[in-house]
Amino acid sequence: MPEQLFQFLVTGITVGSLYALVGLGFAIIYNASDVVNFAQGEFVMLGAMTAIALLSAGLPLPLAAIVATLLTVLVGLLLERFAIEPTVGAPVVTTIIITIGAAIFLRGIALLLWGKDFHPMPAFSGDRPIHLGGATLLPQSLWVMGVTLLLVVLVRLFFNRTLLGKALLACSFNRAAAQLVGINVRVMLRLAYGLSAGLGALAGILIAPITFSSYEAGIMLGLKGFSAAIVGGIGNPMGAVAGGLLLGVLEALGAGFISSGYKDAIAFLFVLMVLFFEPTGLFGHKVADRV
Amino acid sequence: MRRIGFFTFAVGVALLPALFPDNYFVMAVGVSAGLNAILAVGLNLLMGYAGQISLGHAAFFGMGAYTSAILTTRYACPSLIALTAGLIIAGVIAWLLARPILRLRGHYLAMATLGFGVIVHVLMVQATPWTGGPDGLNGIPPLNLLGWSVDSDLRWYAVIMAALLLAIGLSLNLVDSRIGRALRAVRGSEFAAQMLGIDTGRAKTQVFVVSALFAAFAGSLFAHQQSFVSPDSFNLTVSVELVTMVVLGGLASTYGSACGAIALTLLHEGLVVFEDYEMMIHGALLMAVMIFMPQGLFIGLSQGARRLWRLKNKASA
């Protein structure tokens, strides 16, 4: 029993790391533009699929990963420039449909480029499982957890220690005030989309060896990332990370002890329960309405 | 004015099969457009008038469909009773869910309704003994209206269009009633509505239930018309599609939602010829419409036409 529990925890943290990265992307974009980007999952899919395509074209893994990430960042920037910038200040429903449209569009392009098949990707450092106590651990899981930790720390440092990060944070508090103190809000908006697309792409590349990838791979991942961001209190980057890990672990426990078929239902039931009792998420600000 | 609109619509709908007798396209597409329009009109009450988003409306559509499917195939239940049972189940679930879920705002509400939709969909896939799992249920008998069996394309067209007219009529009346005015006040400002003495929680609950009933009603008809249901017809994509129809038609307009639903159904039929390109074009069109006509297709087009008209007048003057 304890070994089993440990095994589920390992699986949960691996998947949760992924949700955390996607949730982090959601939070960064939400902060900068008040938009929930439903195409976030498609960044993950694009990163994975592009990396797989580049690998099979003969590029070495590190190069393929970097090029795939940069290409996804470019897609994020294009999305911001042509779909988000023209509609700044639009109602929630409009932005939701625009980003859902973008997600369908990107999925459609992936379908044309790579077909409907599942594409495998070799693990970064072999497939030999590592035995730890009674549980087995894939080396790729270590990669996922390690790189996620590194990225989360870097994002935190970026927001807390660099001028650029602080400027981006200032935009999320009050765009007009940020503009008045000389921050170029438009550049910050692009930065947020680029950063978020890059995080998504890296998440996709990290997980592809474990789950394979297809043109539809981004849908559920995007929704789970959104859940992570909501559970953590939307607009709170570290809350999103915590929410992602929590969601991943709960899902793995639910799949292990109850039924794997119901794992998505368990995850979303948890999200609903959180919202029913804490309508602004676990770590969200309690906002007072201004009338 | 309102009457004229309603009768024009009714006459148009009735004339279509007379103008194109035995036309498969009019019948098949008409039926699916009509069902979508019922769903959109119902969802518009919640989204357009009360200003509450739902990304899980396909769940109620599915509850109506599955209740009818299970009761008629497993228990040989008469179709009208099955339909009523579907309405009751969806209504009760919506009522139970309304208070806690409609306390949420904006993106939190979007998340919660989306989550609810996913949970119901997972249940449809997983509860195989009841729902038949991913394969769904088939062999659903045709709708039987007190002895009149709805078993031909033309009859289905007539039934669905009658149902659509009923839905539009109900919606128009509801909007002009005390409840409708309360809902519009809630959309404007919930706080102000409370100050005016409106029980906003109750108003939102009522509209959520009504909107779920519209969806379950359409679901029952859908199950009988297709004679087959599977979870794929009630997933997140469908919920998103419904929201798109309402927004495309222009929020807070009953006819707008119906037209949005018809436009999107036709678009899907038209895009089929592009095969693999369909998805890409669909996504691009969705983005383009929302970026350039955020108030919906019809207001956007009519404004564009008015602008052209003014330009032309200026040029001639």
Q: Which residue has the higher pLDDT, A85 or B3?
A: A85
A182: left (phi over 0), alpha (psi -120 to 50) or beta: left
Do B49 and B187 touch, CB atoms closer than 8 A?
yes
Complex ipTM: 0.87
User: How sure is the predictor about B116, in pLDDT bands with cuts at 50, 70 and 90?
Assistant: very high
Please give the average per-residue pLDDT across A234-252, as a whole number: 90
Check: CATH 1.10.3470 for A2-159+185-277? yes
Residue B100 sits at the chain A interface (C-beta within 8 Å): yes
- What is the arithmetic mean of pLDDT over B42-46? 92
Residue B1 has pLDDT above 60, yes or no: no
pLDDT at residue number B296? 76
Name the residue among A74, A42, A62, A12 with its Cα closest to residue A218: A42
B111:A271 CB<8 A: yes
* pLDDT tens digits for range A150-183: 999 999 999 889 998 888 888 877 888 888 888 8
Which token pair is A25? 């992307």
Closest CA–CA distance from residue B264 to any residue of chain A (Å): 14
Sign of CA dihedral B29, B31, B37, B42: negative
Tell me how far the alpha carbon of residue A282 is from its chain's centroid: 18
Percentage of chain A beyond pLDDT 90 is 43
- For residue A287, what pLDDT band results from cuts at 50, 70 and 90? low
Residue type, A83: A
Q: What is the pLDDT of residues B24-33, one digit of tens each?
A: 777 888 889 9
**Average pLDDT for A114-119:** 88
Q: How many CB pairs under 8 A join A and B?
A: 135
A226 closest CB neighbour out of B111, B285, B294: B111
Using the 8-state DSSP alphabet, how is residue B21 labeled?
Answer: T
When pLDDT is averaged across residues B214-230 and rounded to a whole number, the result is 93
The three state secondary structure string of chain A is: CHHHHHHHHHHHHHHHHHHHHHHHHHHHHHHHHCCCCCCHHHHHHHHHHHHHHHHHCCCCHHHHHHHHHHHHHHHHHHHHHHHHHHHCCCCHHHHHHHHHHHHHHHHHHHHHHHCCCCECCCCCCCCCCEEECCEEECHHHHHHHHHHHHHHHHHHHHHHHCHHHHHHHHHHHCHHHHHHCCCCHHHHHHHHHHHHHHHHHHHHHHHHHHHCECCCCHHHHHHHHHHHHHHCCCCCHHHHHHHHHHHHHHHHHHHHHCCHHHHHHHHHHHHHHHHHHCCCCCCCCCCCCCC
> Which residues of chain A does B196 touch, with a Cβ-Cβ cutoff of 8 Å?
none
More confident: A16 or B250: A16
Which pLDDT does position A269 carry in this prediction? 92
- Nearest residue of chain A to residue B245 (CA atoms): A97
Q: CB of A233 within 8 A of CB of A239?
A: yes
Q: What is the pLDDT of residue A84?
A: 86
List CB contacts (< 8 A) between A276 and chain B.
100-101
Tell whether B119 is within 8 A of chain A (Cβ): yes
Q: What is the pTM (predicted TM-score) of this model?
A: 0.89
Average pLDDT value for residue range B172-186: 86
Work out the minimum CA distance from B311 to partner chain A, whole angstroms: 24
Residue B60 has a pLDDT of: 96
Does pLDDT of B87 surpass 90?
yes
CB contact under 8 A, A86 and B116: no
Q: How far apart are CA A111 and CA A200, in angstroms?
A: 19
Q: What are phi and psi of A58, to 5 degrees?
A: 105, 0
Q: Judge: B53–A96 Cβ closer than 8 Å, yes or no.
A: yes
